[in-house]
Chain A
Amino acid sequence: MNNFFFRRIFIQREALTYPLTARIIARTQAPYEIIDDPRVIKEELASSPDPIGEGKRILYLTIQKGKFVKPCPCSPGVISCGYLIINSVLGCPFDCSYCILQAYLADPWITLFVNEEKLEKSLQPLFKDSVPPGLRIGPGELSDSLALEPLTDQAQRLSRLFYRSSKAMLELKTKSIQIEPWLNWPPSPQIVFAWSLNAESIAKEEERGVPPVSERIRAASLLARKGYHLGFHFDPLVYFKKWEQEYEQVIRELLQQIPAKLIRWISLGCLRYPADFKKIIFSRFRNRAIFAQEMVPGRDGKFRYFKPLRLKIYSRIYEMIQAYGGKGIPVYLCMEDGEVWEKIIKKKPEGKKDILPLFAPPAID
């Protein structure tokens, strides 16, 4: 992601005096405008035939007046992984067809909260010894943790904070490959870099502006050589003609390049979307066959592959991970119910007390 990706920057008047605002202005050539109300941006995007796509090129700097740390929203009836979200950036410059943020976020532009001091203060309770082991937190749910790094240095600032964490872990979930700063830093078990991976053809077709999967694995392997702990997310798993062949290829490559002992977790989640999402897909990503597979509404109203098909996909992917040397890697399922957990993982966590130990650092490193 180069610095000049943004077409325009809007700065809320109140955000003008913050150091992060100054840093961003100094690092980009995009013209900026000081505004009092973000409705100005909404009006500008109203005439665009693709406000979501256009919004990805607009950065809005403002102040987080609400909470910086929130629990990851999970559907009712599914097993939560107890994740905490850092709400520091809303929106992602990458443009993946399946990305739920297109429907989830109220505004199509990228909002960056510049009050870093408040963010850092919000994280302080996580550094207490009373925090349960295995607690994970990261900014990669409502954005990509590293995509804006050359502009913000935010992941580096967060990393520095987590060197002093004894229990909670920072997960930098990303599809980006901008890892250079960390190559000169000592690794910490409390900082985990995690990549979203997919079958190469799905990545090529559905993930616009994102580095290829092989480059993501390469970036991960560079960090692995330095001793960093890593995580991987096969989410969304997509059902298509060559799904078994292509996922096997990625899993083989991943486990050949990354020592399994450095992989702290792998998550699996089949493609899913809320009912309203399809309207966005039809208007933004027409003729995408991945959304025309057999998907049915679940108890939470989200569309997923027909359950027996999901079980088949999870079971094959799980087998592949085990077969290529990943037997000891904790695998968990994203937004799945107890029945699926029992059938695939052979256990059904009953709340945080069961799920968090799955992510705790190994006793001996």
Chain B
Amino acid sequence: MLKTGPLFKMERMKLRLVSLQEINLEEKKFCLSPLVEFESLKDSIRRAGLLVPPLVKPEKETLILISGWRRVLACKDLSLKTIPALLVPEDMSDLDLLIRVIEENLTTRSLSLAEKAEAIYKLNLFGLSPERIMADYFSRFALPGKREYFLLLIKVAGQGQEKLKKFLHETEISLEALDLFLSFSTVAQERLIPFLQAVTYSRRREIIVNLYEISLREGQEVDTLLQHPEIKSILEKEELSFRSRGEALSDWLKKRRYPLLTSWEAEIKKILKELAWPEEVKLLYDPAFESPEFELSFSFRNYFQFLARLDELKAIAQKPSFQRLFCRSLEE
């Protein structure tokens, strides 16, 4: 088993000095990342040279790059002519090589969602069954072992636009939110990406889920929703950062998604303002308005402070708007 397996074949790898021109950078079948950032590596190569040779495979008079994209691109950018490279035996299958690329990456860093999708897609393309991929890789990729997620990630890698892949390379997103996001049109996805990238993980999820659910409830496409004058005005405020606009979009969507809840929250704030509620007295209430109970807390140092606070609260309770705090009906 071992003598024909990848471990045995690796023993036959040869270290050679190769011309950078020989390396075919067009062939990306072993590249997992949609965005290869090599600027940071250039300085290291300039100081110490190329420490780890890339892995290449001879094929039709050129060399296919298997791993070391950042290294090769950095060397090329530094105008080097030749670099040391490890040549793998020609009889190594694409699947064996891809497995090596994945292992190499997994031992040094965690993969982005876009890279995981690409790895899954290519493992499947090179002949590994979905069941094997889920069994051997999903837990190592920190993915839930469900077939629906296998299909989702295959879809991302197989059909996703480059902008989407770059977004998923640079941004963390839950698989549920991604699933919904893929149901949006490409235009809507691209419109939202800069704002989603700028906000926090939970806001990102909220924006996607709320857009999806508003569109479902109101029976209109996400594209149409994004044309709503208020959304347009938020997104087009270029004097504000993407983050500020993303947060404003998230707040607007929350109001639209939960109109009753947000109007009740606003009403409570308004009532407390009208009552000139003292800042030192904390008034706690169920944020979902499920429980009718309120809780009150304040601190005091002596008997007189305590009585003064009670008198103040008693005076507040006499005001007509105090009763409105207890209103529980939509009609009232």
Find out whether the CB atom of B330 lies under 8 angstroms from the CB atom of A308.
Answer: yes
Q: Is A327 an interface residue (CB 8 A)?
A: no
Q: Is A307 an interface residue (CB 8 A)?
A: yes
Find out whether the CB atom of B217 lies under 8 angstroms from the CB atom of A292.
Answer: yes
CA distance A311 to B332 in the complex (A): 12
In the complex, what residue of chain A is closest to B287 when comparing beta carbons? A296
In the complex, what residue of chain A is closest to B216 when comparing beta carbons? A292
Kindly supply a per-residue 1/0 record for chain A positions 30-42, scoring 1 wherever the CB is within 8 Å of any chain B CB and 0 otherwise: 0000000000000
Q: How far is the CB of B239 from chain A (nearest CB, A)?
A: 33
CA distance A298 to B260 in the complex (A): 15
Q: How far is the CB of B217 from chain A (nearest CB, A)?
A: 4
Q: How far is the CB of A95 from chain B (nearest CB, A)?
A: 17
Q: Is A124 an interface residue (CB 8 A)?
A: no
CA distance A283 to B144 in the complex (A): 14
Find out whether the CB atom of B261 lies under 8 angstroms from the CB atom of A294.
Answer: yes
Q: How far is the CB of A42 from chain B (nearest CB, A)?
A: 12
Number of A-B contacts (CB under 8 A): 73
Q: How far is the CB of A286 from chain B (nearest CB, A)?
A: 8
* B219 interface neighbour in A289, A294, A304, A337, Cβ under 8 Å: A289
Name the A residues within 8 Å of B151 (CB-CB): 49
Q: Which of A6-33 contact B (CB under 8 A)?
A: none
In the complex, what residue of chain B is closest to A287 when comparing beta carbons? B216
CA distance A343 to B288 in the complex (A): 18
* B291 interface neighbour in A46, A291, A299, A343, Cβ under 8 Å: A299
Q: Is B5 an interface residue (CB 8 A)?
A: no
Q: Is A4 an interface residue (CB 8 A)?
A: no
CA distance A46 to B183 in the complex (A): 25
Q: Is A185 an interface residue (CB 8 A)?
A: no
Find out whether the CB atom of B290 lies under 8 angstroms from the CB atom of A307.
Answer: yes
- Known A282-B176, A306-B289; contact A289-B259, beta-carbon cutoff 8 A: no
* B289 interface neighbour in A47, A279, A291, A308, Cβ under 8 Å: A308
Q: Name the residue among B183, B257, B259, B290 with the largest chain A CB count within 10 angstroms.
A: B290
Name the B residues within 8 Å of A286 (CB-CB): 183
Name the B residues within 8 Å of A282 (CB-CB): 176, 179-180
CA distance A282 to B181 in the complex (A): 12
Find out whether the CB atom of B217 lies under 8 angstroms from the CB atom of A289.
Answer: yes
Q: How far is the CB of B210 from chain A (nearest CB, A)?
A: 10
Find out whether the CB atom of B328 lies under 8 angstroms from the CB atom of A296.
Answer: no
Q: How far is the CB of B278 from chain A (nearest CB, A)?
A: 28
Find out whether the CB atom of B288 lies under 8 angstroms from the CB atom of A296.
Answer: yes
CA distance A293 to B179 in the complex (A): 20
Kindly supply a per-residue 1/0 record for chain A positions 275-291, scoring 1 wherever the CB is within 8 Å of any chain B CB and 0 otherwise: 00001001100111101
Find out whether the CB atom of A308 lies under 8 angstroms from the CB atom of B258.
Answer: no
Q: Is A256 an interface residue (CB 8 A)?
A: no
Q: Is B238 an interface residue (CB 8 A)?
A: no
Find out whether the CB atom of B329 lies under 8 angstroms from the CB atom of A292.
Answer: no
Q: Is B103 an interface residue (CB 8 A)?
A: no
CA distance A47 to B130 in the complex (A): 9
Find out whether the CB atom of A292 lies under 8 angstroms from the CB atom of B261.
Answer: no
Kindly supply a per-residue 1/0 record for chain B positions 317-332, scoring 1 wherever the CB is within 8 Å of any chain A CB and 0 otherwise: 0000000000011110
CA distance A287 to B218 in the complex (A): 12
User: Could you list some 19 contacts between A and B, CB below 8 A?
Assistant: A48-B147, A282-B176, A282-B180, A283-B148, A287-B216, A292-B212, A292-B213, A292-B217, A293-B217, A294-B259, A299-B291, A306-B260, A306-B288, A306-B289, A307-B290, A308-B264, A311-B328, A311-B330, A343-B328
Interface residues, chain A, CB within 8 Å of chain B? 46-49, 279, 282-283, 286-289, 291-294, 296-299, 304, 306-309, 311-312, 337, 339, 343
Query: Beyond the given A47-B131, A299-B290, A308-B289, could you list 19 further A-B residue pairs with CB under 8 A, ordered by the A residue number?
Result: A46-B131, A47-B130, A48-B147, A282-B179, A282-B180, A287-B216, A289-B217, A293-B217, A294-B260, A296-B258, A299-B286, A306-B260, A306-B261, A306-B264, A306-B288, A311-B328, A337-B290, A339-B292, A343-B328
